[in-house]
Copies of this chain bind each other. A is one copy, B any other.
Amino acid sequence: MSLVNVGTVAFDAIETPFGKTDKIIGGACTYISLAASYFTKQAKIVSVVGEDFPQETLDMFKAKDIITEGLQVKQGEKTFFWSGKYHNDMNSRDTIDTQLNVLENFDPVIPDSYQDCEYLMLGNLTPSLQLKVIESMEVRPKLIVLDTMNFWMEIAMPDLKKVIKEIGVLTINDEEARLLSGEYSLRKAARKILEMGPTTLIIKKGEHGALLFGGDKVFYAPALPLEEVFDPTGAGDTFPGGFIGHLASTGDLSWENMKNAIIMGSAMASFTVEKFGIERLRDLSMEEIADRINEFAELTNFSLEFPSKVK
């Protein structure tokens, strides 16, 4: 079923304790679309790049059956650029440089061919633009998933709250859930956030996994303990990409399938961190994905029956 992904397509330059890259392909919408492409046909991009963006990457999107009609290419302008350096613990990073470039005046336009979209993924972006996209859809999608970050909570909270009202699933990290709700307990934070509009909340906890909240239910998807986290960039975008990709491919929005979708998101994100940028995510086989899903099942499934043999 038709999926539209909105967000940045960008250049990143990344430094981790394991090495350093020159300008490589990044951006939330890139990770989201690649992750979703393993599950859904013709995932559609809405984004903007400059004339410096490589044709090779546009060709790669095409090869992945990703539709780029909504990807504006601005002649005479440059692609959004972000550069960052991770600390030794890989859980925090410093931004070295941000060059907005084409993003400064980005006006997301939804092509007519995208209008039948049933699933809409709004990657991290200015909340007013995310709202504009929702308002541009002639028919309200069956599911809207929105990712955002603390930055917008600090400078554009009213706009953010406006767009959150309109969505089905919100994905943020634990720090952001606390900031948005004013509650330290994630369970209390979730209850407050679910009152703001979304029916489902996902709290991403990086190497500690992710929590799924809906009504009074909660589910915990672990992160796979990896030999090496090589580069965390994009994991937080790959995750919702795998999540909505699975939902769009199955068309099932039940609680049980939301649980499956969050496992799928975690599995896809666990690939992204294994290499720089999109290097690992770009060329996965279905067998690799199936193996990883099995690893997650082994990681968490147990069969304790209690009382089994008490005293």
Is A133 engaged at the interface, CB distance under 8 Å to the other chain? no
Complex Cα distance A121/B156, Å?
53
Residues of B within 8 A of A226 (CB): 185, 187
Chain copies in complex? 2
Is A235 engaged at the interface, CB distance under 8 Å to the other chain? no
B229 touches A41 (CB 8 A): no
Complex Cα distance A89/B178, Å?
11
- Beyond A256-B303, A301-B301, is A310–B249 a contact (Cβ under 8 Å)? yes
Distance in Å: Cβ of A22 to nearest Cβ of chain B: 26
Number of residues from A at the complex interface, CB < 8 A:
54
A39 touches B300 (CB 8 A): no
Distance in Å: Cβ of A194 to nearest Cβ of chain B: 14
Name which residue of chain B comes closest to A256, CB basis.
Answer: B303
Name which residue of chain B comes closest to A250, CB basis.
Answer: B309
Partner of A208, one of B209, B302, B306: B209
Distance in Å: Cβ of A41 to nearest Cβ of chain B: 5
Partner of A205, one of B89, B208, B228: B208
Complex Cα distance A116/B249, Å?
59
Name which residue of chain B comes closest to A42, CB basis.
Answer: B311
| Stretch from A4-12, A122-130, A258-266 at the B interface | A258-266
A220 touches B184 (CB 8 A): no
Complex Cα distance A71/B298, Å?
41
Name which residue of chain B comes closest to A189, CB basis.
Answer: B225
Residues of B within 8 A of A250 (CB): 308-309
Complex Cα distance A208/B91, Å?
14
A187 touches B225 (CB 8 A): yes
A222 touches B225 (CB 8 A): no
0/1 interface trace, chain A 250-282, chain B, CB 8 Å (1 if under)? 100000100110011000000000000000000
Partner of A220, one of B205, B211, B300, B306: B300
Complex Cα distance A307/B220, Å?
22
A209 touches B187 (CB 8 A): no
Residues of B within 8 A of A264 (CB): 304, 306
0/1 interface trace, chain A 123-146, chain B, CB 8 Å (1 if under)? 000000000000000000000000
A89 touches B222 (CB 8 A): no
Interface residues of A in 22-48 (CB under 8 A from B): 38-41
Is A109 engaged at the interface, CB distance under 8 Å to the other chain? no
Is A186 engaged at the interface, CB distance under 8 Å to the other chain? yes
Is A289 engaged at the interface, CB distance under 8 Å to the other chain? yes
Given A209-B209, A286-B310, A297-B302: 7 more A-B contacts, CB < 8 Å: A185-B229, A211-B225, A250-B309, A260-B303, A289-B306, A290-B307, A297-B304
